[in-house]
Structure 1
Amino acid sequence: MVVDILILGAGAAGLLAARNLAQAGQRVTVLEARSRPGGRIQTLAADAGFSAPTEAGAEFLHGDVPLTRQLLQEYGIPWIDTTGTTYEVTDGQARTAESFLDDMPLLLSTLHRLPHDMPLAEFLAQYFPGDDHQTLREQVIRFAEGYDAADAHRASCFALRDEWSGNGAEDSPRPLGGYAGLINGLVWELEAAGGQLLLGTHARLVTWQPGRAEVRCQDGRVFAAPRLLLTVPLGVWQAEMDQPGYLPLRPDLPEHRAAARALGFGAVIKFLLEFTEPFWEQTTAEIGQPLPELGFLFSDAAVPTWWSQHPAQQPLLTGWVAGPAAAQRRHSSPEELLTEALSSLAYLLHTTPAFLRQHLRAHHIINWAADPLALGAYAYATVGAPEARAILAAPVADTLFVAGEGVYDGPYLGTVEAALATGEAAARQLLLP
Structure 2
Amino acid sequence: MEKPDVLVIGAGAAGLMVAYKLTQKGKKVTVLEARNRTGGRIHTINHESFFQHAELGAEFVHGDLPVTLNLLKEAGIKYHAANGEMVRYAKGKFTESEQLIEDWDLLIERLNELKEDTNIYDFLLAEFPGDNYQSLRDGVWNYVSGYDNADPRKASAFALRKEWQNEDEDAQHRVDEGYCSMINYLAKQCREAGNNIFLSTVVKEIHWKEKQVKVITDDGISYEAGQLIIALPLGVLQANEQEMGAITFHPPIPEQTKAIQTMGFGAVIKFLLEFDKPFWENSATKKLAGKSLKPMIFLLSDEEIPTWWTQHPQRSPMLTGWLGGPAAIDKKDYTLDDLLQQALQSLSNIFRLSIDELKVNLIAWNIVNWGDEPFTRGSYSYDTVAAPEARRVLNTPIDNTLFFAGEHLYDGAAMGTVEAALTSGVVVAEKILG
Question: TM-score, normalised on structure 2?
Answer: 0.96
Structure 2: which amino acid aligns with 1:146?
G
User: Deviation digits for residues 65-108 of structure 1, max 9, x if unmatched?
Assistant: 10000001111222211233221111332222132124222111
Structure 2: which amino acid aligns with 1:199?
L
% identical equivalent positions: 42
Correspondence for 1:30: 31
Between stretches 190-199 and 414-423, larger displacement belongs to: 190-199
Distance 1:15 1:72 in 2: 14
Correspondence for 2:272: 272
Structure 1: which amino acid aligns with 2:227?
R
Correspondence for 2:412: 410
Distance 1:158 1:203 in 2: 36
- Kept after mapping to 1: 8 A contact 2:85/2:297: yes
Aligned partner of residue 107 in structure 1, secondary structure: helix
Q: Structure 1's 98 and 190: CA in aligned 2 closer, same or farther, altered over 3 A?
A: same
Distance 2:288 2:88 in 1: 16
Aligned partner of residue 257 in structure 2, secondary structure: helix
Distance 2:96 2:187 in 1: 43
* Alignment coverage as a number of residue pairs: 431
Structure 1: which amino acid aligns with 2:44?
T
User: Deviation digits for residues 127-177 of structure 1, max 9, x if unmatched?
Assistant: 111111111111111111110111111111111111111224453211112
Distance 1:169 1:259 in 2: 32
Correspondence for 2:344: 342
Matched, 1:401 2:403: yes
User: Deviation digits for residues 310-339 of structure 1, max 9, x if unmatched?
Assistant: 111221100000011111111111111111
Structure 1: which amino acid aligns with 2:343?
A
Correspondence for 1:206: 206
Distance 1:271 1:287 in 2: 26
Correspondence for 2:387: 385
User: Deviation digits for residues 363-421 of structure 1, max 9, x if unmatched?
Assistant: 11111111110111101111121101111222212211110111111111100010001
Correspondence for 1:152: 152
Distance 1:190 1:246 in 2: 26
Structure 2: which amino acid aligns with 1:246?
A
Structure 2: which amino acid aligns with 1:329?
K
Correspondence for 2:44: 43
Correspondence for 2:123: 123
Distance 1:294 1:348 in 2: 14
Alignment of structure 1 residues 302-321 onto 2, 5 Å: 302-321=304-323
Matched, 1:100 2:100: yes
Correspondence for 2:249: 249
Structure 2: which amino acid aligns with 1:127?
E
Structure 2: which amino acid aligns with 1:132?
N
- Kept after mapping to 1: 8 A contact 2:14/2:405: yes
Correspondence for 1:7: 8
Alignment of structure 1 residues 165-314 onto 2, 5 Å: 165-284=165-284, 291-314=293-316
Between stretches 357-366 and 77-86, larger displacement belongs to: 77-86
Give structure 1 stretches of 5+ with no counterpart. none
Alignment of structure 1 residues 65-144 onto 2, 5 Å: 65-144=65-144
- Kept after mapping to 2: 8 A contact 1:238/1:261: yes
Matched, 1:427 2:429: yes
Question: TM-score, normalised on structure 1?
Answer: 0.96
- 1:294 CA drift (Å): 2.4
- 1:288 CA drift (Å): 5.5
Distance 1:211 1:134 in 2: 56
Give structure 2 stretches of 5+ with no counterpart. none
Between stretches 164-173 and 201-210, larger displacement belongs to: 164-173
